[in-house]
Chain A
Amino acid sequence: MSEEVLEVVGLRKKYGQLEAVQGIDFRVRSGEVFALIGPNGAGKTTTLRVVATILRASAGVVHIAGIDVAREPDRAREIISYLPEEAGAYKNMSGEKYLRFVADLFYSEAKTRDAALARGREIAGLDERLDDKSGSYSKGMTRKLLLARTLMTEPKLAILDEPTSGLDVLNALEVRDIVKQYAAAGAAVLLSSHNMLEIEYLSDRVALIHEGRIVEAGTPAELKEKHGAVTLEDVFREVAS
């Protein structure tokens, strides 16, 4: 039986006069991949950042496994992991040292730390290149390292902003498989993407954000049926227009 991991109720976020998110609600359960789709500036990344405890909500509540992120952000950070769209690694640090740094941050016991590190190495799949400084990595290698950093700690909620952004086809396929397997193992995944094929392949449920509001939500099949569309792209085009 899956449990509710993320609950977002009435979320609003203002930047000065601009209200980027105008009261949105959604829930994500364990083992589920929930995707936010929408045009640029719709409020996807802002929503993800609020859930990731980086930004404070102007109104509304966000609970992760029952923890209010506004009141107890430090506790929430113990059980989440966030992969921003434009993320990087420390250029003077090797991939191995970077993963070790993350493992050291999360775990005090050597056994669990080593197990996390082993998971990280496996997800990154960089073999001997892990010993090279991350400054020498290609974009695809860096992205896989960061995905490994995100999932190696087995968070209850993985927050992935454009996880395959800038990757070539093969690397993107590999990353999608990793995310799918991770959710299948029982974790909750909240992601945003512009790639509708990726969304269809990965997501159990989708919410379409437009101008800071959720205008449609459901499974990809439900949405396609409702709008009489062949692909999610057609749904997106119709709703956005």
Chain B
Amino acid sequence: MRRFMVLLRKELRELMTPQMLVPFAIAILMFALLGSIISGEEKKAQGRQDIGLVDMDGSATSLALPDALDQAGFHVVDLGEIDTASVTEELRKRDLAIGLYVPVGFEQQLESGELADVQTYAVVRSFSLTALSQTDTLKGVLSAVGGSVSDQVIADAIPGSDPETLKRPLAFTEHVAVGSLEAAVPLDAVYGLIQQQTLFIPVILFIVIIFAAQMIATTIASEKENKTLETLLASPIGRGSLIMAKMVAAGLVALASAAAYMAGLSYYFQGLTGGEMFDSGGVDVSTALGLRLAATDWILLGVALFLAILIALAMAVILGAFADSVKAVQSLLTPLIILTLIPYFLSMLIDIESASPLLRAIVFAIPFSNAFTAAPNLFLGNQTRVLLGAGYQLLWLIALVYVAARIFSSDRILTMKLDFRRKKRARVA
């Protein structure tokens, strides 16, 4: 144990170099900074928006529009009486993004039962994500103006009626069933809740797997490249301790980086979504549908994630043993990256359960799939599936650790290598 700890300290020291820490810190700072900027922009967009208004009609109906817009949260800027050709120029001059033009004859058209003419103008200054809120602003303006005018038209046509009831005569109540439980909650809210609870898991798991695998394969390759492996192999350290020290060190650094990335990503997404991902209409969706993870669920989830990381590390040990230089590591890790990418994307994009039998067989054969699908499966009450998946992962891990230990205990650690350059040269010759 003492020698294992000595080796672990050495591995951690080798991994925590400025070359590794600086880009890592920059990435986290970037996430936090982006989140902060986006959050600021979102807040600005959610504030009171200025709307330019040209009222050429001057009727009672058109004069009621500024009040309707004000009630809808907009600040109306009167652009005066100008022709349509000048509206865009006036908006630009006053730094406004949205303008409304009410032509002469607006009220008259309404009274004669025709569709009344209203023109909108939008000045696009960028195509960024936050600039997309301009479309929401325009929708808000149209809704406020349309709502106000239609209310007045209905009130004039059917005195004493409630315009709201006439416009929306149906009252919908949404019922959602998850597993054995059913509740009257909005479907959007259920998806929003699950997404909020599980959004980070695949992202972080993917980062941890790739990061840890790269680290451990790189340390093995650099032992070969720097010619330190032979002396290490001749030192009084068991081969098992040697592999475990490398795996634990890479795992610890990867977990620390995952925690930091998680904090950065969390801040980033909070900025992106304003911290709210769904509107449950005041209903506690998680209680109503039992969408809460019990302590045993959390343990199962942890086991599935931990096994996936260990499998990646064991695979990387084997792949790293083939590398004769640090440069070769990237190419050698490609199979591992592909095996991680398949369940990562498929679990986010499609319902694997309803996929074709062949695709399901491929996905479930990959030892990382259980970790990527564990959280939604646990929310759906499929604990048995996650447990069986963990058993399958364990079998993979035992097999991989056995192979890795065999490689390190035999001559292969020194003799086997894949040299792509040499093969290429041979083909050319």
Chain A interface residues (CB < 8 Å from chain B): 15, 49, 52-56, 74, 77-78, 80-84, 86-93, 97, 101-102, 104-106, 108, 146, 149, 159
B231 touches A82 (CB 8 A): yes
Closest-CB distance, A159 to chain B (whole angstroms) = 8
B230 touches A82 (CB 8 A): yes
With A74-B236, A93-B13 known, 4 other A-B pairs at CB within 8 A are A53-B233, A54-B411, A54-B414, A55-B414
B368-395 contacts to A (CB < 8 Å): none
B230 touches A54 (CB 8 A): yes
Q: Which of B14, B227, B234 contacts A53 (CB 8 A)?
A: B234
B230 touches A105 (CB 8 A): no
Q: Which of B227, B231, B236, B411 contacts A149 (CB 8 A)?
A: B231
Instruction: Tell me if B424 is interfacial: C-beta within 8 Å of chain A.
Output: no
A55 touches B411 (CB 8 A): yes
B233 touches A87 (CB 8 A): no
CA distance A84 to B415 in the complex (A): 15
B5-26 contacts to A (CB < 8 Å): 6-7, 10, 13-14, 17
Interface 0/1 of B388-404, CB less than 8 Å to A = 00000000000000000
Central interface residue in B226, B235, B237, B415, by most chain A CB within 10 Å:
B235
- CB-CB under 8 A from A53, the residues of chain B are 233-234
Instruction: Tell me if B3 is interfacial: C-beta within 8 Å of chain A.
Output: yes
Q: Which of A77, A84, A101, A102 contacts B227 (CB 8 A)?
A: A84
Instruction: Tell me if B238 is interfacial: C-beta within 8 Å of chain A.
Output: yes
- CB-CB under 8 A from A84, the residues of chain B are 227, 230-231
B230 touches A87 (CB 8 A): yes
Instruction: Tell me if B135 is interfacial: C-beta within 8 Å of chain A.
Output: no
* Chain B residue total in the interface (Cβ 8 A): 23
B393-426 contacts to A (CB < 8 Å): 410-411, 414-415
B235 touches A92 (CB 8 A): no
Instruction: Tell me if B228 is interfacial: C-beta within 8 Å of chain A.
Output: yes
13 A–B pairs (Cβ distance < 8 Å), ordered by A? A54-B230, A56-B411, A74-B238, A77-B234, A83-B231, A84-B227, A87-B228, A88-B226, A88-B227, A89-B228, A91-B226, A102-B235, A105-B3
Closest-CB distance, B350 to chain A (whole angstroms) = 45
Q: Which of A80, A88, A92 contacts B234 (CB 8 A)?
A: A80
- CB-CB under 8 A from A56, the residues of chain B are 410-411
Given A81-B234, A87-B231, A146-B231; A92-B411 close (CB under 8 Å): no
CA distance A5 to B414 in the complex (A): 26
Instruction: Tell me if B2 is interfacial: C-beta within 8 Å of chain A.
Output: yes
CA distance A105 to B235 in the complex (A): 8
Given A56-B410, A88-B226, A92-B13; A104-B236 close (CB under 8 Å): no
- CB-CB under 8 A from B411, the residues of chain A are 54-56
- CB-CB under 8 A from B6, the residues of chain A are 101, 104-105
B234 touches A82 (CB 8 A): yes
B236 touches A105 (CB 8 A): yes
Residue of A nearest to B227 (CB): A88
- CB-CB under 8 A from A146, the residues of chain B are 231
Closest-CB distance, A138 to chain B (whole angstroms) = 16
B234 touches A54 (CB 8 A): yes
Residue of A nearest to B413 (CB): A54
CA distance A74 to B14 in the complex (A): 25
CA distance A149 to B230 in the complex (A): 13
Closest-CB distance, B200 to chain A (whole angstroms) = 32
CA distance A92 to B10 in the complex (A): 11
Residue of A nearest to B415 (CB): A15
A90 touches B14 (CB 8 A): yes
CA distance A80 to B414 in the complex (A): 19
Question: Which 5 A-B residue pairings sit nearest by Cβ, starting from the closest?
Answer: A88-B227, A82-B234, A77-B236, A84-B230, A88-B226
Closest-CB distance, B35 to chain A (whole angstroms) = 33
